[in-house]
Amino acid sequence: MLYSIFNGPMPTTAAQAVVTTGTAIKTMLQVKGITALQFKIKEWGISFDGSAAAAPIKCELLETGTVFATVTAAAAADITKFENPNNPTSTTYFSVGVAATGYTATAEGTITAVRMFDAQLIAPTNQYVKQFPLGLEPMVNADSALRIRVTAAAAVNAYCYIIVEV
């Protein structure tokens, strides 16, 4: 079963909300499975709304073990049943909360070890999408934090997302 998660609340009468990168390291999106659940990363992507070429933004897809950022908690409706609308409710597989699945971190936590799945330097006027080859999708450990994290020289707005399989 596939689920997609963006770095903002589910859009209804307005467009998907963008989130500023700021200029310090910032977790844009964090995902946590329910206790004892591993999940695969199928795809991730990020795009920026910069209007001029400038220093590239450091973008990372990583697992930070049991160290979670403090985020705006996602709601069950923010996690989309991707390929099948009859999949179980997202909270069957994902924990939501300020130290679980959410977006726009206000505190990063003290990370001591990571598993880096992808790292890119992306222009603030550009975008990036990575689909992992079949059979080579990273598996996120149970009870671990999966994050999209950025470090920008100048703040711009961003969309980012992850598609995962449970």
H or E element that contains 29: strand 26-31
Full-model pTM: 0.96
Query: The domain spanning residue 24 has which CATH number?
Result: 2.60.120
Q: How many domains does the chain have?
A: 1
Q: What pLDDT score does 91 carry?
A: 87
Q: What are the b/e assignments for 130-166, b being 16+ CB within 10 Å?
A: eebeeeebbebeebbbbbbbbebeeebebbbbbbbbb
Q: How far apart are CA 12 and CA 77, in angstroms?
A: 11
Q: What pLDDT score does 89 carry?
A: 85
pLDDT tens digit at each of 166 positions of the chain: 999 999 999 999 999 999 999 999 999 999 999 988 999 999 999 999 999 989 999 999 999 999 999 999 999 999 999 999 998 988 899 999 999 999 999 999 999 999 999 999 999 999 999 999 999 999 999 999 999 999 999 999 999 999 999 9
Domain range for 106 is: 2-11+20-165
Q: How far apart are CA 161 and CA 157, in angstroms?
A: 14
| Residue 90: strand, helix, or coil | helix
